[in-house]
């Protein structure tokens, strides 16, 4: 049975796109994959290509899937688009045409990592600890499940999680305002708060917020002595928190959740957190991003903690 779609009607708004690229700036998918196909601009252009009959749903299905599935549904693009297009909604319409249900995600981000673990033979299975910064905790949960099914003894460390999904348009932000300094390890969150301050929505000063990356070189840069890292969890709405909680119930015993802890990092890493790291039985830390990798290496070196940091890139 073949369905015939009138793309010109379905995607009428997409015709207004002049591919300026403004939507790229805060798209978590584009910032992560850095490929045109995972950008909002591509989603709108795909609609245009369907209208102009340059591609077809049947023949180009695989590429379309790659495109639509990277969307994190955060609506950042819709807020920014000068032409008033909502790429997220267009994405949803393409999804519907492809016959994808909203809940369906076929490819867990880290699925099959296990099978590809190059270091597998060198270490005992229980030595692994996952540090996550994945924006999609559903996928993390799935991955953990599959790891567990393979008899791996896995712990989850979400101390440095980033959840860009807190960028839902129009939602207000709540942060405890009791600290002197707030440090972000995540640029999207940093920008969100920075904008909130300039817009007068947040009673903080610009000097109070800091953004830290792997660039920190203790020799050339001075950092304030007292600083607090903001975990993205702070930004989660109640509903999202509950959802997250539900997903992670299986792992509760083995999860080192720093969500409610106040701790410091950077060259002046807080003693308490250093101790935490020392207590963790696992010897190898797997990081999902270069940033965490470098940051942990600095800390382990500085505090002479005998643990290894390996980037996930080595496994994929």
Partner 1 sequence: MREVNFEKALKEITKILGKKNVLLSRTELLLNSYDSSPLKARPQAVLNIKQTAQVAPILKIAYKYAQAVTVRMSASNHDGACLPLKGGFVLNMSALDKVLEINTKENFALVESGVINQDLQDILAPLGYFFAPDPASKNFSTLGGNFALNAGGAKSLKYGASSANLLGAEIILCDGTILTLERGNPLLHLLVHSEGTLGIITKLKVKIIPLAPYKKTLTAAFTTLEKAMQAVQKIISLGILPSALEIVDENALSFTPYKNTKIKALLITELEGEKEQVTNEQKQTVNIFKNTCAVEIKINLTAAEIKQAWKTRAKAALALAKQASGFVSYDYAVTRPQLVKAVAFTQEIFKKYNLRGTIVFHAGDGNFHPNIIFDENNLYEANLVKTAVKEIDNFIFSLGGTLSAEHGIAIQKRAAMTIFFSQDTLNLFKKIKTVLDEKNILNPQKILPLCETKAQKIPFGLKSFYNKAKGNKQFDFKIINKLNKIIDFDKENYTLTVQAGALIEDIKKQIEPQNFYLPTSKKKGALLDLFLSGQDGNFADFVTGLTFVCAEGLINVGGKFVKNAAGYDLIHFLAGTLGTFGAPLVFTIRLLPKQIESQINKNKFVQNETLIKLKQVFDKNNIFQISGQQNEEEI
Residues that bind partner 1 (CB under 8 A): 15-22, 24-25, 34-37, 42, 45-46, 49, 54-55, 59-60, 62-64, 67, 82-84, 187, 190-191, 197-200, 206, 209-215, 217, 220-221, 290
Dihedral angle computed from the Cα positions of residues 171, 183, 293 and 243, in that order, rounded to the nearest 10 degrees: -30
Listed residue (10, 3, 72) closest to 44, CA to CA = 10
Per the CB < 8 A criterion, the answer to whether 62 and 46 are in contact is no
According to DSSP H, which parts of 128-236 are helical?
A: 137-149, 187-198
Distance of CA 208 to the CA centre of its chain: 24
* Residue whose CB is less far from partner 1, 64 or 144: 64
Closest approach, Cβ 287 to partner 1, in A, equals 15
CB of 175 or CB of 197, closer to partner 1: 197
Gap between the Cα atoms of 63 and 184, Å rounded: 35
Q: Supply the minimum distance, in Å, between the C-beta of residue 44 and partner 1.
A: 11
Q: Report the distance separating Cα 165 and Cα 73, nearest Å.
A: 7
The nearer residue to partner 1, 245 or 290, going by C-beta atoms, is: 290
Smallest distance, Å, CB 7 to partner 1? 15
Say if CB 17 and CB 84 are below 8 A apart: no
CB of 131 to partner 1, least distance (A): 19
- Residue 100 CB, shortest distance to partner 1, in Å, is 16
Nearest CB to partner 1, comparing residues 16 and 252: 16
Q: Which residue shows structure tokens 């009428």? A: 12
Alpha helix (H) ranges present in the chain? Answer: 7-10, 28-33, 40-51, 61-69, 76-80, 87-98, 137-149, 187-198, 238-247, 271-279, 290-302
Min dist. Cβ of residue 77 to partner 1 (A): 11
Q: Which is nearer to partner 1, 144 or 209 (CB)?
A: 209
Rank residues 20 and 169 by Cβ distance to partner 1 and give the closer one.
Answer: 20
CA distance 293 to 273: 16
**In the complex, least distance from residue 66 CB atom to partner 1, rounded to whole angstroms:** 8
Return the number of the residue (198 or 249) whose C-beta is nearest partner 1.
198
Residue 191: burial class (beta carbons within 10 Å; 0-12, 13-18, 19+): middle
């Amino acid at each position: 049975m073949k369905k015939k779609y009138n793309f010109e009607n379905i995607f009428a708004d997409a015709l207004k796109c002049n591919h300026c690229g403004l939507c790229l700036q805060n798209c978590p998918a584009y910032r992560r994959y850095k490929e045109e196909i995972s950008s909002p601009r591509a989603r709108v252009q795909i609609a245009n290509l369907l209208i102009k009959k340059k591609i077809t749903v049947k023949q180009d299905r695989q590429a379309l899937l790659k495109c639509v599935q990277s969307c994190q549904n955060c609506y950042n693009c819709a807020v920014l688009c000068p032409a008033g297009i909502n790429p997220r909604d267009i994405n949803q319409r393409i999804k519907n045409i492809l016959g994808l249900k909203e809940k369906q995600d076929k490819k867990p981000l880290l699925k099959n990592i296990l099978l590809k673990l190059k270091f597998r033979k060198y270490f005992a299975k229980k030595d692994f600890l996952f540090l996550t910064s994945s924006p999609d905790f559903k996928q993390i949960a799935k991955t953990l499940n599959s790891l567990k099914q393979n008899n791996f003894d896995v712990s989850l460390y979400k101390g440095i999680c980033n959840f860009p999904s807190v960028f839902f348009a129009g939602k207000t932000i709540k942060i405890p305002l009791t600290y002197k300094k707030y440090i972000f390890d995540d640029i999207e969150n940093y920008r969100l708060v920075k904008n909130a301050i300039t817009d007068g929505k947040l009673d903080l000063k610009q000097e109070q917020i800091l953004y830290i990356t792997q660039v920190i070189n203790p020799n050339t840069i001075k950092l304030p002595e007292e600083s607090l890292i903001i975990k993205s969890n702070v930004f989660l709405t109640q509903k999202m928190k509950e959802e997250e909680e539900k997903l992670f119930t299986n792992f509760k015993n083995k999860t080192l959740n720093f969500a409610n802890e106040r701790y410091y990092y950077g060259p002046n890493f807080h003693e308490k957190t250093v101790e935490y790291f020392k207590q963790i039985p696992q010897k190898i830390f797997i990081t999902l991003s270069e940033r965490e990798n470098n940051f942990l290496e600095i800390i382990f070196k500085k505090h002479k903690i005998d643990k290894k940091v390996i980037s996930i890139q080595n496994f994929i």
